[in-house]
Chains A and B, each alone.
Chain A
Amino acid sequence: MGAVTDRAKCIGCGRCIDVCPGNVIRKDEQGKAYLKYESDCWSCAACVKECPMKAIYLRLPPEYGGTGADMYARKNKNITTWEIVRADGEVIRYTTDTEEANKY
């Protein structure tokens, strides 16, 4: 587990496939992206930030605690907006800006 695709939202643009550092994602017969080599995923989120449709996201593996959560991202130039959807329905949002350095 790591990146997961939502085939209903995918428009088959191929950006996630190209950017993945591990050649993990492929297209299915309908031209939609999916994690052909699912267990190879490094969870780097490069694909998540690249997707224009929020059709690929990170999923927390069950071993890591909690009751499940997904993370979406949308990158627009220097600003990335992140959206974490918890199992209890709570949505947590963060905005990061590459022009702002980390404080720690």
Chain B
Amino acid sequence: MEKKIIKTDILIIGGGTAGCYAAIYLGENCNYSVAVVDKAAIKRSGCLSAGVNALNAYITEGHQPIDYVEYASKDAEGIVREDLLLDISERLNKVTHDMENRGLTILKDEKGNYVSRGWRNLKINGENIKPLLAKEVLKQKNVKVYEHINITDLRSDGSVRGAYGFGINDGVFYEFKSKAVLIATGGASGLYRPNNPEGQAHQMWYSPFNTGAGYCMGIISGAEMTTFEMRFIALRCKDTIAPTGTIAQGAGAKQVNSFGEIYEDKYGLTTSQRLWGTVTENSEGRGPCYLKTTGIDKEKENELLKAYLNMAPMQTLKWAATKGPSEKDVEIEGTEPYVVGGHTASGFWVDNKRMTTLKGLFAAGDVAGGAPQKYVTGALAEGEIAAEGIIEYIEKEYDDKENEGLLSGLSNTCKEGYEKGLKRKSVLEGTRRYRVRDLERAMQKIMDEYAGGIKTDYKYTVHGLDIADERIGELSKMLDYTDINDTHDLLELYELRERLVVARVLIAHLKVREETRWHSFQENADHPEKSPEFDCYINSYMKDGRITVIKRKLVKV
């Protein structure tokens, strides 16, 4: 395997929403050299590939940042880092205006004021939001972009000083050497059996290409993680798994059961309660459930169809090929559970500068924990906060004395890992061999059945978790018996490794929370009530392959 070494002051892993915005900030505010590395091309990589329809986090007139903190905290039953939420909230409007100046279209009334959807949500045209961010990144003279490189491990000797990865197209081993690292690889999808069958398995809500790489790298290097047990399960349009906000908040459609009864008031209005209500209506025989859209006029229907083209084109195709929302209510269903810090509080445990518990490693966006309901603008804000923190770190704390022996050992282990993977076929000819995708499906089945997936209406028991833990452990050992023919297979192998590591930590977190804090998101059938004893964070870290779980006191503002 050919080896390339790239030296830079700052490395950004993941050129998504948070990563791109951090790169733009660093480009415009310092002279350090910056490398952005992504497994795809940043023009359309990550969550924003198809586009988005709204900025879900914005403080409208008459409201204050603290209102947003209160709202997010209440929605999460108090398990949030209010300090992190507050400094994000204080920047939401600033990053919004900045994006508008950079070319994002935001809906305005005749007087030029933004038109909001509720008090914290703006209507936009976000089809081009990712190409727009990418263009701004490429304008920066001190920023270099490296695409189609999959990063798998951190380069760390106690301080994080870069990362290792391989080129998906060129098969090169890349060693990035830097003074500080920002991790912005998004959350983790594909842990549980998804809604759609094999051929359409990736027709899911969260990006199927965000596989928990950042969490995994952090966990393996000993970083502390928080609140993995607060899973995110989305309520989405049936089959296409397209977002529903544009129909529910945008067009004002209510959730109804198959008898046409509005049921949301019965269960409560937090994000998890809305989902739980739908699950319960179904399980008690009043499903399927819908968003009541029939009767909207044709003009409204046409606008809805166009809106979805800018965000989830498959939904428009479905409407056009079947019946539109004016003639047929839109059926909704819960997705498989994801671990995603932009919606819930799961992810890296960070300080106010967004430095993780590993020196020199910063986190932003869906990979960073503590601050749910971040969405696009929160990810932008957090990218900026982390970028400021990185500049300060390099100036004040960074120590250039590397442990060379340790780092060259790490580099070799990593490279040999890839090479061993690629040579595997000939080595193991005739012995036990499995396709990576078969093991992935096995993992998803186990998580679905024993760790609270769709199959059990998201409920789990401790007994089930023990089975899941054992089976995930077995599957992790089977990674050595996979059939690898090229770098794409190697990519699949590392993605599966990431998901298995995230799954193990998730199981450990679910087990420790001996209560039900959030219906569906974390519904412990052995402990169906909420308990004040668990008014705390569940955090964890891995050492020598073992996971240790700790409780931490809530941080309030």
A60, chain B: closest CB distance, angstroms: 5
Complex Cα gap A99–B107 (Å): 10
Beyond A39-B200, A39-B201, is A23–B40 a contact (Cβ under 8 Å)?
yes
A98 within 8 A of B: yes
Return the chain A residue nearest B49 by Cβ: A44
A-B contact pairs, 11 of them (CB 8 A): A21-B41, A22-B209, A58-B313, A64-B239, A71-B317, A86-B320, A94-B306, A96-B306, A98-B127, A98-B128, A103-B303
Whether B203 pairs with A43 at a CB distance below 8 angstroms is: yes
Residues of A in contact with B, size category: 35 or more
Among candidates B50, B54, B105, residue contacting A98 with C-beta atoms closer than 8 Å? B105
Beyond A2-B203, A103-B107, is A69–B317 a contact (Cβ under 8 Å)?
yes
Whether A21 pairs with B306 at a CB distance below 8 angstroms is: no
Contacts of A43 in B (CB 8 A): 202-203, 240, 313-314
Among candidates A36, A45, A63, A86, residue contacting B313 with C-beta atoms closer than 8 Å? A45
Seen from chain B, the residues whose Cβ lies within 8 Å of a Cβ on chain A are 39-41, 43-46, 49-50, 53-54, 105-108, 115, 117, 123-125, 127-128, 147-148, 168, 196-204, 207-209, 239-240, 246-247, 250-251, 300, 303-307, 309-310, 313-314, 316-318, 320-322, 488, 491
Contacts of B251 in A (CB 8 A): 104
Among candidates B45, B50, B201, B306, residue contacting A102 with C-beta atoms closer than 8 Å? B306
- Which of A46, A71, A94 counts the most B-chain CB atoms under 10 A from its CB? A46
Over the window 90-102 of chain A, the binary record of Cβ atoms lying under 8 Å from chain B Cβ atoms (1 yes, 0 no) is 0010101111111
Among candidates B128, B203, B303, residue contacting A104 with C-beta atoms closer than 8 Å? B303
Among candidates B43, B208, B316, B321, residue contacting A40 with C-beta atoms closer than 8 Å? B208
Complex Cα gap A42–B309 (Å): 14
Complex Cα gap A98–B106 (Å): 10
Among candidates B53, B303, B314, residue contacting A60 with C-beta atoms closer than 8 Å? B314
Complex Cα gap A94–B303 (Å): 10
A1 within 8 A of B: yes
A80 within 8 A of B: yes
A18 within 8 A of B: yes
Whether A80 pairs with B199 at a CB distance below 8 angstroms is: no
Contacts of A84 in B (CB 8 A): 316-317, 320-321
B553, chain A: closest CB distance, angstroms: 39
B551, chain A: closest CB distance, angstroms: 37
Given contacts A58-B314, A66-B321, 17 further A-B contacts (CB under 8 A): A18-B41, A21-B40, A21-B44, A22-B202, A61-B203, A63-B197, A64-B322, A65-B321, A69-B321, A71-B317, A82-B316, A84-B320, A96-B127, A98-B125, A98-B127, A101-B115, A102-B107
Return the chain A residue nearest B198 by Cβ: A39
A83, chain B: closest CB distance, angstroms: 10
Return the chain A residue nearest B249 by Cβ: A104
Contacts of B207 in A (CB 8 A): 21, 42
